Structure 1
Amino acid sequence: MLGGINARELSGMEYLLKHSLVPPDMRVYTRGPRHPAEPVLQLCAPQFRSSGDISSHMRDVFEDTIREALLFPAPMLILVPDGFEFSAPLRRALPEAQRLAPVDRQILFMLITHHYNMVGEAEHARLLPDRETLARLEYPALLMALRAPTAQNAARKLQKLTRPRRPVREEALTLAEIGGNSAAHQAAAALAADVQACLQGTASWSDIPRSLLLYGDPGTGKTMLAQATARSAGLPIIIASAAEWQARGHLGHMLNAMLGTFSQAAAQRPCIVFIDEIDSFGSRDGRDQHNSNYRRQVINVLLKEIDKFLAVDGTLLLGACNAVDTIDPAICRPGRFDKVVELGRPHLRQVAHMLRQVFTEPEEVLGLARLCVGQTPAEIDATVRAAKATARREGIPFDASYFTAHLKCNRPERPALERRIALHEAGHAFVTALLLGASAVERIVITKDVGMTTRGTAIIEGTTHEFEGEMAILLAGRAAEHLVLGDVSAGSGGGPGSDLERATRLQLHCDQVFGLGIHGPAWLGEPDMARLSRADWDRVRVKLQQFEQNARDLLAPHRDLLESLAGALILQREMNAEELWPWLSQITGSN
């Protein structure tokens, strides 16, 4: 007897037994013949209703099948669903059921390796959830993950689908309590103010923007900002996500869950629907054709539901994603999402505002904020909680000095790396200022690990000169490192969105898409990195080396000032446009 089986999985178990697990010369019967001419396995499993439960009649039929099978000498396998109890006579007669082992990382690794025909070590092994997380894995979620085109994507999908549902906070923060002043915070505040105007009768629902899509790195607080918008507007919010809808099962169940979310919100209007991870839907025109029909159906229904939802007064739509460029354009067009705004990492002022909720002394808060700037709100919150827990275990009061020591202990000083990062970002800022003007540089942030420069773009009219300027700016960080330190690091490289990726893709687009390169006025289609010819790669390499040299030539006369700005960045960690002006105005001749 085999137990520990979900009733809904019985049919799948029977199929596996008949077609994969038993020897090919063995026949599987519900009731075996008395004198079989070949090996026979008698398989006994109950029938169940569509709801997943077993009626009393089905229970009786199942037990009758077992009794009849006992009359025959062939071996038996009885599949016992979870929660099923036999009548007393059978319970005494039958052996104890052997329970299926719970799914663990090894089982899942073997399943995915076999499913995707992989051999040897595989990258997906390290991406699989841990044992405790896998204990929450539901069968539909596993099936959904295995629809992914690659083993790595399947493992990442499992990570998403096994996350616990995030409850909506009863006492979410307001926008004022969050304290941000970025474009995303301003858009959220404007939306909340417009809603209040509608509720007070000074504006109509048809006259205000009613949707906002937030994008940015994980942990920047997109969900928190959506909840704060709802609380500041005084509206209920219903939080959903592509992963939660998909976890309901096959296409029909997923679409029913999606429709249920919008219907529930419409019934509670005025109400906000917040769709998290909206980039999980992908695009109907994406290159990945795996499950393209499924994806097309889902997006079509989502578009229809958004249109129907926003056609009713008192309905608002918020969304969040990491990669806005992967979303189907029809989802994020005006009329569905009226405004698409990036939510970046918090500025120094907002970090200080966050820490002020924990520490009271203004001088202490500013110093701590400089140590934390560049981190996401989620990272800062996790660091504070970890420090509090450590202080509690050690029996030491938790204060600003303890938190400072905790930060320095967990993030040791690496002055050489910090200087390289500061020079790298200063290089971006100087070349931007020289090509576009000092006011084009808005902000620089450095941490102990990375740096970020917020700036304008050189591409306005789309001329060759502008594209070359943009690529010089992208490679200016490497140029600054080489100029001052004599070598370059991997700081410009990495995944999508890195300086090197953007510069490489920009040069390829000039050649193959924009009609500004070696192929003249021809459109050759979107470049496929995996299929580029050796000649194309050689041309990209030569052009990028040329643009890096251009940036180095621009920086060389200002080396002393470049190093001076890098030193200031190491001390201040963040500098805004006003604080950068004394350096940038000197190299541009601005007053």
Structure 2
Amino acid sequence: MTGKAKPGPPNEPTPPSTPPSPAAWWRWLLPIGSLILLVWVLAIITTTGSGGTTYSYTDFVGKVAAGQVQAVTIDDQGAVSGRLSNGTRFTSQIPTALNVSQLEPQLRDHHVEITATKQGNALISFLVGFLPFALIIGFLMWIGRQGQRSITGGLSGFGRSRAKIIEAERPTTRFGDVAGYEGVKQEISEVVDFLRAPERYAAAGAKPPRGVIMVGPPGTGKTLFARAVAGEAAVPFLSVTGSAFVEMYVGVGASRVRDLFDEARKRAPSIVFIDEIDAIGGRRGGPVSGGSDEREQTLNQLLAEMDGFDQVSGIVVMAATNRPDTLDPALLRPGRFDRQVTVPLPNQTERSAILTVHGAGKHFAPDVDFGKIARATPGFSGADLANLVNEAAINAVRANRATIAAADLDTARDRVLLGRRETSNALLPEERQAVAVHESGHALLATLCEHADPVAKVTILPAGLTLGATEQLPEAERHLYSKSYLIDLLTVRLGGRAAELVVFGEGSTGAANDLAGATQIATRMVRDFGLSSVLGPVGYAAANPQHLGEEGGELPRKPYSEQTQRTIDEEVARLLGQAEQRAISLLRTHRGALDRLAVILTEQESIDGEIVGQVLRDERLALPPDKRINTSSLGQALGKGR
């Protein structure tokens, strides 16, 4: 796919905050609730014996003068509690700031029974005085117990494995749920046979595999294969990631490895699956960094455990990584990981089968052809295909439909490859013409070059970082690329810039992405593939293989001289120059088709590859003057638009 790039800043989502766990709330609610309960009980004790009607001091004196008071109890703080002649209990308060010396004679004159007491009693006074100290001491004791529990239980939990244990009845994934990859299934099916009947191997004197490591790009289903093995064998499945062993404390990772294998022995026969094993299985003796001692101890313990358990114990270790070049050689030797199974990107047939699996339970229109979609998605992994089907379903929901049409899958593919279509990113009329000419150049050269892949779609609608795109679909899955194919590929890559030079007489910034891709292809032709007649059959491939799923980068250290580098640069420039001149010559020869195709693109915005071929066949029909693309300078045209 070729197109015009438009830079833009990415938007990073803000991670949601994590709410406190219920266990943390209960640890604090217990002491707080106990404190509230204690205060409530104390309040009940201090208010015991009080009750009835509360009178002001004036009303109290009036009741005494009327002879309605039968008995009173007065404490040293002036609090009064008493009983009326009709048996009603009451309370009042004598104001100590006033002269109330006449109150006692008045009470005696009306024959009121008087009782004098001190406020509260000894028990209540003791509780009130001791309560703050008791609360402080209790709180400190509770904190101490929590700390001791964290030290004893927490540190013991530190050394425990964080493996997720799935018992025998839990795994439901089978090999039938994994589409394609028949060779990989055959490789790991022997692991299932060993777990089902280990005595067969023992009787024949064959040693069962101790470990199987699956290597492949991200999203190819390595974890799914491990679950399928567990489901087929109907044995416990202990799943853990490599990062779960890494801690800042030395020795914790090794302890977790021991605990993991102890759990596996208790549940034997069983499978131990370590995802992203490169987190702990990296080469030893590398550059010293923080935590290197802990990582090496963890790796040493893993090596000892894999070399130490009984061969007939029924434990198989499976691992997955997309960085096999970083693993320690001791981990990959026979006796530990006996087999290295490569899980590559699916081919066209396998992609069709994977789409069928992910499409189960969804409603598709009759025009949906999974074979055609598989052909249009070279380089897609299983995870990419699952995302493609999900995006198509979302697109159908946006249109208020429950049935997924072929157009939804095409839109989803553009969404995955190019990005979201920006309706607000409208192009100026002059820019639309420039993009149409650019993409017409790509499309025509892809049709004219003998070894180029056929054109499937051409569009000038902005999407993501591209202002337009020309999509090419290979007729078959390619594994080898000839020099003729690569030269045609360079010609098609430079077709957009060549079209701008033919029509407008100058280039633009829209060819930046095309130039970068073409330069990379030409560099690899000269430096890696030995396809240069000047440099000869010499290849300077990268000394260290790239991680699976990553693009090849520059060599960390050049294994050749500056003179060789100068020769490489000259050959790259020669290849690119020849490809550009070839593209310009072809487009000048077919200038009528270029103008007609650019006009069609400007009017329709998106066209199929069949229209490109039809335009070439009808090239002899000249365009009217008013329908031709303006051949003035590109800079002047865009300048007028602004």
Q: Which has the larger radius of gyration?
A: 2
Shorter-chain TM-score tier: 0.3 to 0.5
- What TM-score do you get using the length of structure 1 for normalisation? 0.47
Tell me: higher relative CO, structure 1 or 2? Use CA pairs within 8 A at least 6 residues apart.
2
TM-score, normalising length: structure 2: 0.44
